[in-house]
Chain A
Amino acid sequence: MTHFEIFGLAPALDLDVKALEQKLRDLSLEFHPDRFAQADARTRLAALEKTTALNDAFKVLKDPVRRAFYVLKLKGIDLENDAAAAKAKMPLEFLEEVMERREQLEALKAKRDVEKARAMADGIEKERSSALEQAKAALGRDDVNEAAHQLGRVKYFTRFVEEVEALEEEALS
């Protein structure tokens, strides 16, 4: 069963997260282990598995980035776990850009210049949104290679933003 099927949904890139949350609550009640306390072991185990599967599915589906990676996976490319797919080459120019920006960020970190780092992260967050939109468009027309490429970019941008967030937290403490 796919994460979408667990929620009785067709695979989709855009989801109403509020409605998804409501469905999670309804289904969680339906399969709550307490309701099966008197049942036989097999039924209890099945209910527990269902609950775990529901929660796992929700975690993936509520996040637009993870959802897009998941749709790509359903289309045959597991970018997050498959070593072969992970090796899918990012263009050299893009890697050069990533390296350059990471070095800039490293220098800002050394100077504890959180403000400039945040400004960089803001710009990169915009690029991340646009890459995600392009990935979704590519998935929509079944262009999995382009989708994988754009989601690879999303991953790099996310990593960068996370670094800045870590720096901000460090500066606060």
Chain B
Amino acid sequence: MAYSEKVIEHYENPRNVGSMDKEDPNVGTGLVGAPACGDVMRLQLKISDDGMIQDAKFKTFGCGSAIASSSLVTEWVKGKSVDDAVQITNKEIAKELSLPPVKIHCSVLAEDAIKAAIKDFQEKRAKRQGAATTPAVSPSTSTQP
């Protein structure tokens, strides 16, 4: 199958390949996969406390279209707010990369990865805030020997 110029370009020079510390409270990790092709894609976003995406890294084991889709979204989300990043659709990704119909699921995967990473960040933050307020609500429990 013929890949578009843009897919080849991203495949040969993938942007932002790598990983971040997934324990970092400001890092959201999205791990998604498509059983149709056996691909696995990890997208990590470093998000500031005010919800701006400062950095993005990805690691994808899959076909050229899956690699290009994830490489592209790391470029797109950087500098965006979380609210703007979740608006990115697979259609935009597929259009930018001129993906053929059989490869649309690669762009779906990339969209899902963004959403999963942001959800992970938000869940972490909620948990952290929950943990921070718990001792204040019930101070008596921690002092018991």
Cα–Cα, bound, A64→B57 (Å): 38
Give the residues from 105 to 120 in chain B that come closer than 8 angstroms, CB to CB, to chain A: 105, 108, 112
Interface of A is mostly: helix
Q: Which residues of A have CB within 8 Å of B108?
A: 83, 87
B36 A81 Cβ-Cβ under 8 A: yes
Contact B34 A86 (CB under 8 A): yes
Residue in A81, A151, A159 whose Cβ sees the most chain B Cβ within 10 Å: A159
Chain A stretch 85-102: residues in CB contact (< 8 A) with chain B: 85-88, 90, 92, 95-96, 98-99, 102
Most chain B CB atoms below 10 A, which of A80, A86, A102, A152: A86
Cβ-neighbour of B31 out of A85, A87, A92, A156 (below 8 A): A92
Among A87, A102, A156, point to the contact of B105 (Cβ < 8 A).
Answer: A87
Contacts A83-B104, A87-B105, A99-B31: A158 and B38 contacting too (C-beta < 8 A)? yes
- Residues in A with CB closer than 8 Å to B61 are 98-99, 102, 106
Q: Is B40 an interface residue (CB 8 A)?
A: yes
Q: Contact check, A151 vs B35: say whether CB atoms are below 8 A apart.
A: yes
**A contact residues, total (Cβ < 8 Å):** 26
In this complex, how many residues of chain B approach chain A with their Cβ under 8 Å: the count is: 18
In whole angstroms, how far apart are the Cα atoms of A76 and B61 in the complex? 28
Residue of A nearest to B61 (CB): A102
Bound CA–CA A151/B59 (angstroms): 24
Chain A residues closer than 8 Å to B40, beta-carbon distance: 95, 98-99, 102, 156
Q: Which residue of A lies closest to B38 (CB)?
A: A159
* Given A87-B105, A87-B108, A102-B61: A95 in contact with B35 (beta carbons within 8 A): no
* B38 engages A96 (CB within 8 Å): no
- A83-B108, A98-B40, A99-B42 as given contacts; A156 in contact with B59, CB under 8 Å: no
With the chains together, A98 CA to B35 CA distance in Å? 12
Residues in chain A near residue B33, CB distance under 8 A: 90, 95, 98, 156
Contact B38 A86 (CB under 8 A): no
Decide yes or no whether B137 CB sits under 8 A from chain A.
no
The answer to whether B31 touches A96 (Cβ under 8 A) is yes
A84 to chain B, nearest CB (A): 9
Give the complex CA separation of A120 and B108 in angstroms: 30
Are the C-beta atoms of A86 and B31 separated by less than 8 Å?
A: no
Query: Apart from A85-B36, A95-B33, what are 5 other A-B pairs with CB-CB below 8 Å?
Result: A80-B36, A87-B112, A102-B61, A151-B35, A159-B37
Q: Please give the residue numbers on chain A whose beta carbons come within 8 Å of chain B beta carbons, in ascending order.
A: 79-81, 83, 85-88, 90, 92, 95-96, 98-99, 102-103, 106, 148, 151-153, 155-156, 158-160
The 5 closest A-B pairs by CB, nearest first: A152-B35, A159-B38, A86-B36, A102-B61, A155-B38
